[in-house]
Amino acid sequence: MKEENKKLFEDMEKVPQEEVNKKTTVSSGLEHVGMSKTDSDFFPRIPTKQTLLTEDIEAVEEIDAEEEESNTVFAEIKPIIRSKSDEEIEKEYGVKKEADGKVLTISSVEIMPYKSARVGEDGTLEQIQPSKTLASGAQFYSSKMKIKYVEDNIVEYYPSIRYWVNNNVVSNVASLNRDGSTKVSQILRLAMQKMSNGAFELEQTTVNERTVYTVTEKTKKQYLEFSKRTSDKAIIDWMVGKKVKIKTSKGTHNGRDWFGNDIIAFV
């Protein structure tokens, strides 16, 4: 308890309650006109026991806070204040939104880097080990193709792209498999068919219970010829600005609902 508050509190304890309640007339120089002031009107409010205790509690809290700060160590970081608004961030990263049956315009195509580490349970970074192919055991890291669309700023991530590991060194060359059954493989074949003005044909088949667009047997030669003289970059560059038909697929994985906007045709 503050020393001045303690003394004042002790003095209050000595005063009889009836004296505290009693109003004492104080001369104000107005007695000649029959007027007077009481102590409650003339003097400021006398602190009560409750206000004294409240002041002491607040003082203790301040001391505790100071002691707590003196016993802690601040992180050696430079705090960063977010300079972008939610609208700016949304515009930059895009919006995940269903677009089943719609025709969308591709605004950009980006090959994403692979993920090399994750945060462990103890907060430290853990190295992600590469995956292996079933056939040869070759090691690789997976990534995705990011496509943004003009309409509603929709964004979608399509698997799968590989970065191969050779002699424990990860290549920075993204491998886009045109002949597989992944989403990226199908997008590339659909784009190449349109680029070649229909030099080869595609048909729907089922692979692992999924619908896949594959090259027909009778036009495989034409496909291989066009594929051989066309680079990955040429395909990616051609895709920007093109319109595509979307079919939204849905499902549940590990108890969580998901959806994806699949490209089923270039229009």
Do residue 180 and residue 57 come from a single domain?
no
What span, in angstroms and rounded, lies between the C-alpha atoms of 37 and 226?
A: 107
pLDDT value at position 33? 42
Mark whether 96 and 41 lie in a shared domain.
no
DSSP the chain: --HHHHHHHHHHHHS-HHHHHSPPEE--S-GGGT--EEHHHHSPPPPPHHHHHHHHHHHHHHHHHHHHHHT----S-------S-HHHHHHHH-B----TT-EEEEEEEEEPPPP-EEE-TTS-EEEPPPEE-TTT--EEEEEEEEEEESGGGBEEEEEEEEEEEETTEE-SS-B--SSSSSHHHHHHHHHHHHHTTSSS-EEEEEETTEEEEEE-GGGHHHHHHHHHT--HHHHHHHHTT-EEEEEEEEEEETTEEEEEEEEEEE-
- pLDDT of 189: 97
Which bin fits 70, alpha (ψ -120 to 50), beta or left (φ > 0)? alpha
Q: Which two tokens stand for residue 200?
A: 């080869």
Within a domain: residue 80? no
Residue in 165, 156, 155, 195 with CA at minimum distance from that of residue 178: 195
Domain boundary among 70, 94, 116: 70
Averaged pLDDT, 220-237 = 97
Q: Each residue of 70-93: pLDDT tens digit?
A: 677 878 889 999 999 999 999 889
Q: Are 224 and 208 in contact (CB under 8 A)?
A: no
pTM above 0.75, yes or no: no
* 185 closest CA partner among 193, 130, 135, 166: 193
**pLDDT over 70 (residue 224):** yes
For residue 177, what are the domain limits? Answer: 86-266
Q: Are 112 and 57 in the same domain? A: no
Q: Are residues 107 and 229 part of one domain?
A: yes
Q: Are residues 36 and 104 in the same domain?
A: no
- Whether residue 40 lies inside any domain: the answer is yes
Tell me what the mean pLDDT of segment 201-205 comes to.
Answer: 93
Position 76 scores a pLDDT of 86
Q: What is the pLDDT of residues 92-121, one digit of tens each?
A: 899 999 999 999 999 999 999 999 999 888
Confidence of residue 181 (pLDDT cuts 50, 70, 90): very high
Span 122-160, pLDDT tens digits: 888 899 999 999 989 999 999 999 999 999 999 999 999
What pLDDT sits at residue 16? 53
Per-residue pLDDT at 30? 42
Please report the pLDDT score of residue 74 as a whole number.
Answer: 79
Digit-coded pLDDT (tens) for 27-69: 444 444 444 444 444 444 555 545 545 555 565 556 565 555 6
Q: Does residue 66 share a domain with residue 90?
A: no
The answer to whether the CB of 141 falls within 8 A of the CB of 170 is yes
59 and 99 housed in the same domain = no
State how many domains the chain has.
Answer: 2
d(C-alpha 199, C-alpha 178), whole Å? 16
Domain boundary among 28, 43, 70: 70
One domain for residues 41 and 152 = no
In-domain check, residue 253: yes
Q: 10-17 long-range CB contacts below 8 Å, 24 or more apart?
A: 12/46, 12/49
196/65 Cα distance (integer angstroms): 72
Q: Could you give phi then psi for residue 205, rounded to 5 degrees?
A: -130, 170
| Tokens of residue 20, six digits | 């505290």
Residue that wins the pLDDT comparison between 210 and 23? 210
Report pLDDT for 38.
Answer: 46
Are residue 47 and residue 139 in the same domain, yes or no?
A: no
More confident residue, 210 or 108: 108
To the nearest 10°, report the CA torsion of 102, 241, 159, 218: 90
Do 139 and 223 fall within a single domain? yes
Does 79 reside within a domain?
Answer: no
Q: Which two tokens stand for residue 242?
A: 């093109």
